């Protein structure tokens, strides 16, 4: 059978690595920790997406992962940040790749290594070679949401056709958004309030067309649902990721009827929850969940993203990263054991 965007994997031991976001030092430290265990040296690594953006060296992270895949040691799936790059959607933290983001990203994330003109098409080609999900007997792996309707929609699309799929769904959403002039109103609002949309101290008014357009994407686009999660229009705008947002993430795993374990990234889980839940926007999804606990309607889900992508904030405040609450982890399967980049090992519960 020809490979598709849902990769079928034979049952085997794995080490599933969370979102890296350009943090090459954390990745190298975690790989060193895994290599210190002789029994793990030949274990297949699975990278759960969001290799890039925000951190100091997305180029080096992508090269390291690509080398591991070429060596037959690893597989990787696409996250929303890779999809943004392929869709030419230059968002916060992507100034390492997109010229238009270099200046607005510099105050937050600099210094960061920029991709060269030669490296950019190579990176795009590499991302085009990756699937959106992995299915193994007794285990599901996806970046943000294992949505059965979305999985069915892309399960037979041949691997390597992600650009065509992105274009097809963008066109479908645009055509739907032409009703009531939604797309024109969306573009007009984005242009009219472009500066305020990234200003935490000067919010725009509630932008109904932006909210409606983003809601349409999240409801219907299977790529968006699988890589950005299942979202609902928010009653109030909120500031996150250096922009005002109008749709909010929901804990889809609480309505997931499939008892098969599913490993995800994306959700910015914290090993040390904040004292004030409002201080970390998405902490509310894990507010009553222990930092090493499985979650969901049948305790079938595990988020392996421990927010290493937020280390830029510590660099900006302290000038370096030493002891940090933002971590990179690998989940060993089938042991359900965690290994962190600082060497800590813990069982999940």
pLDDT per residue rounded down to tens, the chain (349 residues): 689 999 999 999 999 999 999 999 999 999 999 999 999 988 999 999 999 999 999 999 999 999 999 999 999 999 999 999 999 999 999 999 999 999 999 999 999 999 999 999 999 999 999 999 999 999 999 999 999 999 999 999 999 999 999 999 999 999 998 888 999 999 999 999 999 999 999 999 999 999 999 888 888 999 999 999 998 888 888 888 788 988 888 999 999 999 999 999 999 999 987 666 666 666 678 988 999 999 999 999 999 999 999 999 888 887 766 667 899 999 999 999 999 999 999 999 9
Domain 6-156+250-347, second-level architecture: 4-Layer Sandwich (3.60)
Q: Sort strands 74-76 and 44-47 into parallel, antiparallel or unpaired.
A: parallel
- Residue 16, CA distances (Å) to 147, 260, 289, 311 in order: 20, 16, 20, 21
Residues whose CB falls within 8 Å of the CB of residue 119, separated by 6 or more in sequence, listed in order: 59
Residues whose CB falls within 8 Å of the CB of residue 183, separated by 6 or more in sequence, listed in order: 174, 177, 213
Say what the pTM is.
0.94
| Domain boundaries defined on the chain | 6-156+250-347
Residues whose CB falls within 8 Å of the CB of residue 125, separated by 6 or more in sequence, listed in order: none
């Amino acid at each position: 059978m020809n490979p598709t965007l849902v990769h079928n994997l034979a049952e085997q031991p794995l080490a599933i690595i969370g979102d890296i976001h350009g943090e090459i030092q954390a990745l190298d430290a975690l790989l060193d920790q895994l290599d210190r265990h002789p029994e793990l040296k030949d274990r297949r690594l699975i990278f759960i997406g969001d290799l890039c953006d925000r951190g100091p060296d997305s180029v080096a992270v992508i090269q390291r992962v690509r080398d591991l895949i070429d060596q037959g040691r690893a597989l990787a799936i696409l996250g929303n940040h890779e999809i943004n790059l392929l869709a030419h959607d230059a968002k916060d933290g992507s100034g390492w790749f997109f010229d238009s983001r270099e200046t607005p990203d510099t105050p937050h994330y600099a210094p960061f290594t920029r991709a060269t003109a030669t490296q950019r098409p190579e990176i795009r080609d590499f991302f085009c070679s990756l699937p959106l999900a992995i299915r193994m007997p007794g285990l599901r792996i996806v970046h943000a949401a294992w949505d059965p309707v979305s999985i069915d929609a892309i399960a037979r699309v041949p691997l390597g056709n992600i650009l065509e799929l992105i274009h097809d769904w963008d066109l479908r959403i645009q055509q739907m958004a032409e009703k009531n002039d939604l797309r024109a109103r969306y573009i007009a609002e984005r242009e009219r309030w472009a500066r305020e949309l990234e200003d935490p101290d000067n919010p725009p008014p509630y932008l109904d067309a932006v909210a409606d357009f983003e809601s349409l994407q999240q409801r219907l686009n299977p790529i968006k649902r699988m890589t950005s999660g299942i979202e609902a229009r928010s009653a109030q705008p909120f500031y996150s990721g250096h922009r005002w947002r109008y749709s909010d993430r929901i804990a889809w795993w609480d309505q997931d009827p499939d008892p098969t374990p599913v490993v995800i990234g994306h959700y910015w889980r914290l090993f040390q929850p904040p004292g004030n839940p409002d201080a970390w926007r998405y902490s509310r999804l894990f507010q009553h969940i222990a930092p090493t606990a499985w979650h969901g309607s049948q305790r079938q889900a595990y988020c392996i993203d421990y927010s290493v992508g937020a280390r830029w904030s510590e660099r900006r405040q302290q000038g370096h990263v030493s002891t940090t609450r933002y971590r990179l982890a690998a989940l060993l399967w089938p042991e359900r054991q965690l290994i962190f980049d600082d060497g800590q090992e813990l069982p999940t519960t």
